[in-house]
Amino acid sequence: MQKLLISVVALIALVAGVVIYNTLPKPQPQALVYEPARALAPFTLESSLGSDVTNDDLKGQWTLLFTGYTFCPDICPTTMADLRQALPELTKQADEPVRVWMISVDPQRDTVKRVTDYASFFGEEFVGVRAEHKELYPFVNGLGLMYSIPEEGETDYLVNHSAAIVLVNPDGERQAIFKAEHVMGEVPTVNMKTMVTDFAIIASGYN
């Protein structure tokens, strides 16, 4: 009788624990998460992979899309180096591969070779992508990002562009956007520690 009583008490405690756990507030990502995820318009862009990339090349993997350019003096190299450091931890959080696309917003100077050399420096998981303005602008705008276009004839210029990172899910859909932190006197970049935490939440709830 005593064993039965102990078993009943243990079962009640287990059920109560499950109920309490399920009623606790679940951790929420700080990133802007799209629910439902948003489809990307069809695109074709040149890449460092040796061939053009399309929507299909985003499927079957998690992809971090970042706008930048090879002549960028601060935000781009800082963010790319941070992503390289964070990538092993991001990979642990997902069943699918994690890739980074650096989308050049300087088509006047960034050739396929330049973006290939630039992206490959950071690792095989990094892909350099480029296009002319007529293809590039709608693609970048569709991601919710922006970039400036230099005056005609300019050769020595800076390109203003978004420092945020867009997350595309394995279905090739825009899942979230990690916004950059703007601190006085510092280069605006995405906080990688926060991004890793947010990514773990998002990936665990995917499908």
Residue 152: pLDDT band (50, 70, 90) is confident
Q: Could you tell me the CA-to-CA distances from 74 to 11, 187, 192 in Å, in that order? A: 58, 7, 16
Q: Does a structural domain hold residue 111?
A: yes
Determine the Cα–Cα distance for residues 129 and 121; give it in Å rounded to an integer.
14
Q: Does a structural domain hold residue 19?
A: no
Q: Give one DSSP letter per residue of 98-140, joined into a string.
A: EEEEEEES-TTT--HHHHHHHHHHH-TTEEEEE--HHHHHHHH
Q: To which residue do tokens 């992508």 refer?
A: 129
> What would the two tokens of residue 144 be?
């919710």
Number of domains in the chain: 1
Determine the Cα–Cα distance for residues 162 and 189; give it in Å rounded to an integer.
10
> Does pLDDT of 15 surpass 50?
no
Q: Are 86 and 162 in contact (CB under 8 A)?
A: no
Q: Could you tell me the CA-to-CA distances from 117 to 11, 20, 70 in Å, in that order? A: 61, 53, 9
Provide the pairing of β-strand 44-47 with 126-130.
antiparallel
- Summarize the confidence of residues 152-158 as an average pLDDT: 89
Task: Note the pLDDT of residue 16.
Answer: 41
| Residue 188 annotated as part of some ligand binding site | no
| Residue 192 annotated as part of some ligand binding site | no
Q: Does a structural domain hold residue 91?
A: yes
Question: Which CATH number do you get for residue 119?
Answer: 3.40.30.10
Task: Note the pLDDT of residue 200.
Answer: 96
Of 53, 127, 124, 64, give the one whose Cα is nearest residue 90.
Answer: 64
Residue 47: pLDDT band (50, 70, 90) is very high
Task: Note the pLDDT of residue 109.
Answer: 97
Residue 29: pLDDT band (50, 70, 90) is confident
Residue 19: pLDDT band (50, 70, 90) is very low
Q: Does a structural domain hold residue 22?
A: no
| Residue 50 annotated as part of some ligand binding site | no
Range of the domain at 152: 30-205
Q: Are 144 and 166 in contact (CB under 8 A)?
A: yes
Q: Does a structural domain hold residue 191?
A: yes
Residue 186: pLDDT band (50, 70, 90) is confident
Q: To which residue do tokens 């002319």 refer?
A: 132
Per-residue pLDDT tens digits for 111-120: 999 999 999 9
> Does pLDDT of 40 surpass 60?
yes
Q: Does a structural domain hold residue 6?
A: no
> Does pLDDT of 4 surpass 60?
no
Task: Note the pLDDT of residue 21.
Answer: 36
Q: Are 69 and 109 in contact (CB under 8 A)?
A: yes
Q: Does a structural domain hold residue 21?
A: no
> Does pLDDT of 8 surpass 70?
no
Determine the Cα–Cα distance for residues 80 and 126; give it in Å rounded to an integer.
9
Q: What pTM does this model have?
A: 0.85
Q: Does a structural domain hold residue 41?
A: yes
Determine the Cα–Cα distance for residues 132 and 152; give it in Å rounded to an integer.
14
Provide the pairing of β-strand 62-68 with 165-168.
antiparallel
Q: For the chain, what is the mean pLDDT? A: 89
